[in-house]
Amino acid sequence: MKNYVFGAVSAVALMSANVVVAEPKAEVLHWWTSGGEARSVAVLQQEFADNGGTWTDMPVAGGGGDAAMSALRARVLAGNAPTAVQLKGPAIQEWYEEGVLADISAVAEAEGWADVLPASIAGHMQCEGSWCAAPVNVHRVDWIWANADVLEANGIAMPTTWDEFNAAAEKLQGAGIIPLAHGGQAWQDATVFEAVALGILGADGFRKAFVELDEATLTSDAMKSVFDQMRTLRGFVDPNFPGRDWNLATAMVMNGEAAFQIMGDWAKGEFLAAGKAPGEDFLCASVPGEGFLYNVDSFAMFDVDGEDNQAGQALLAKLIVGQSFQKVFNLNKGSIPARVDVALDEFDSCAHLSAEDMAASSEGGSLLPSYAHGMALRGAQSGAITDVVTSHFNSDMSSDEAVQQLATAIANSL
């Protein structure tokens, strides 16, 4: 028997096992398969093993997690749910309502999660008052990444307005450089779209559109401008963009084939995994405009039999929110810790900017959940928006037509 001395784990295991303390086991479903992501999840695997756990990996490739979520549904329908699942935002509550999640309140209370997690994050982890998920990080979605040498060689500064971005992109195009590295997958189109929308609609407009689903905002002139900018961006991507994975787009920025990528800070995890340094090899800046779009990764535990599995769930939950894991994992992942009491001195300038902007936007009311990464809306509504965004991006649909389709799609999804 492995030796582990965790209050919550041993309490749970002992209570149910009477004599024998169960050895923690977990089958973990996640979609962290790119270079930076794999390095990050390895931190959790290692800590789990160091604490006597046996990890069975169930990676399902596919950025943004759509494929992982399909795999999850199939497993749950077959009555064979994984022990722990990368799950986030309102999807946590949707699964809770299906009656298939385990209650991890015993660990959360023993570990004092309520004291170390901001209320905005804790709210996503709770289901009718009990704790049903454990947060690992805060990713920011509204970033522009750039190749530092390419910008310098072309006399371009990091853009602070969309007009500046467009002017820089035209100049780069003239110099034979792909202005925008993009992967044509629906979730990536949605990621770019919401970053553009935040800049153009402003924080209040973003909230009205993508949290409150306000029809007037969805069909407003400002929303038409968002689609206009998407059309402009479409002109800045290379012809091979359809289907490209996000990390391959990041690689295009790394190797200077492309100048910019609009993507969450998991892209920074890729730069770092390739040994690139922020401020030297690559630059980060928030997209033009106010606000902060957050995307909190978390794990939910599914209701499974077996003391070893339950001990594994308790151990995982405890480790995930633990101070040391939150630091090391997020140094690799490109995100910042979900806990408020992790020192950031080993983190880079992009992470510091993220933490400062998150605090300021929380204060100023412009801290907003990412719709594209499943933090703002239930699946039916976010899916309805993304369908319109991606069909606009991949056709010659006008902005007028796009906003009308948006309103209809939302109305039909409610």
Q: How far apart are CA 8 and CA 104, in angstroms?
A: 10
For ligand GAL, the closer CB: 35 or 202: 35
Positive or negative: CA dihedral 270, 275, 279, 280: negative
Q: How far apart are CA 390 and CA 383, in angstroms?
A: 10
- 297 interacts with ligand GAL by CB under 6 A: yes
What's the token pair of residue 357? 């902007």
Q: How far apart are CA 97 and CA 114, in angstroms?
A: 23
For ligand GAL, the closer CB: 41 or 106: 41
The least distance separating ligand GAL from the CB of residue 86, rounded to whole angstroms, comes to 8
What is the phi-psi region of residue 228: left when phi exceeds 0, alpha when psi lies from -120 to 50, beta otherwise? Answer: alpha
> Which residue in 147, 217, 295, 309 binds ligand GAL (CB under 6 A)?
295
The least distance separating ligand GAL from the CB of residue 95, rounded to whole angstroms, comes to 16
> Which residue in 63, 89, 179, 369 binds ligand GAL (CB under 6 A)?
63
Q: Which residues on neighbouring strands pair with residue 180, listed in sequence order?
A: 260
For ligand GAL, the closer CB: 25 or 373: 373
Q: 190 and 372 in contact (C-beta within 8 Å)?
A: yes
The least distance separating ligand GAL from the CB of residue 392, rounded to whole angstroms, comes to 21
For ligand GAL, the closer CB: 110 or 274: 274
The least distance separating ligand GAL from the CB of residue 326, rounded to whole angstroms, comes to 14
Which residue's Cβ lies closest to ligand GAL?
A: 63
For ligand GAL, the closer CB: 111 or 297: 297
Q: Spell out, one character per residue from 218 to 257, where the chain touches ligand GAL: x when CB under 6 A holds, - when not.
A: ----------------------------x-----------
- 373 interacts with ligand GAL by CB under 6 A: yes
- 135 interacts with ligand GAL by CB under 6 A: no
The least distance separating ligand GAL from the CB of residue 31, rounded to whole angstroms, comes to 6
In degrees and rounded to multiples of 5, residue 121 shows phi and psi of: -85, -45
The least distance separating ligand GAL from the CB of residue 187, rounded to whole angstroms, comes to 7
Q: Which residue has the tokens 């582990």?
A: 4
- 120-129 long-range contacts, CB within 8 A, separation 24+: 120/294, 120/362, 120/367, 121/296, 121/338, 124/88, 124/89, 124/92, 124/296, 124/298, 124/375, 125/92, 125/298, 127/92, 127/93, 127/96, 127/101, 128/96
The least distance separating ligand GAL from the CB of residue 170, rounded to whole angstroms, comes to 29
The least distance separating ligand GAL from the CB of residue 139, rounded to whole angstroms, comes to 5
Q: Which residue has the tokens 């450089």?
A: 177
> Which residue in 39, 124, 139, 244 binds ligand GAL (CB under 6 A)?
139
Q: Spell out, one character per residue from 304 to 343, where the chain touches ligand GAL: x when CB under 6 A holds, - when not.
A: ----------------------------------------
Between residue 17 and residue 56, which ones bind ligand GAL under the rule CB under 6 A?
31-32, 37
For ligand GAL, the closer CB: 25 or 244: 244
The least distance separating ligand GAL from the CB of residue 270, rounded to whole angstroms, comes to 10
- 65 interacts with ligand GAL by CB under 6 A: yes
Region of 13-21, 60-68, 383-391, 396-404 interacting with ligand GAL (CB under 6 A):
60-68
The least distance separating ligand GAL from the CB of residue 128, rounded to whole angstroms, comes to 24
Q: How far is CA 324 from CA 44, 300, 370, in A?
A: 10, 20, 27
Positive or negative: CA dihedral 355, 359, 362, 365: negative
Q: How many CB atoms lie within 10 A of CB 278?
A: 18
> Which residue in 113, 193, 266, 271 binds ligand GAL (CB under 6 A)?
266
For ligand GAL, the closer CB: 36 or 291: 36
Q: 270 and 163 in contact (C-beta within 8 Å)?
A: no
Q: Which residue has the tokens 């922020």?
A: 278
What's the token pair of residue 108? 């959360």
DSSP H or E run through 283: strand 282-286
For ligand GAL, the closer CB: 162 or 282: 282
Interacting residues toward ligand GAL by CB under 6 A: 31-32, 37, 63-65, 139, 246, 266, 295, 297, 373
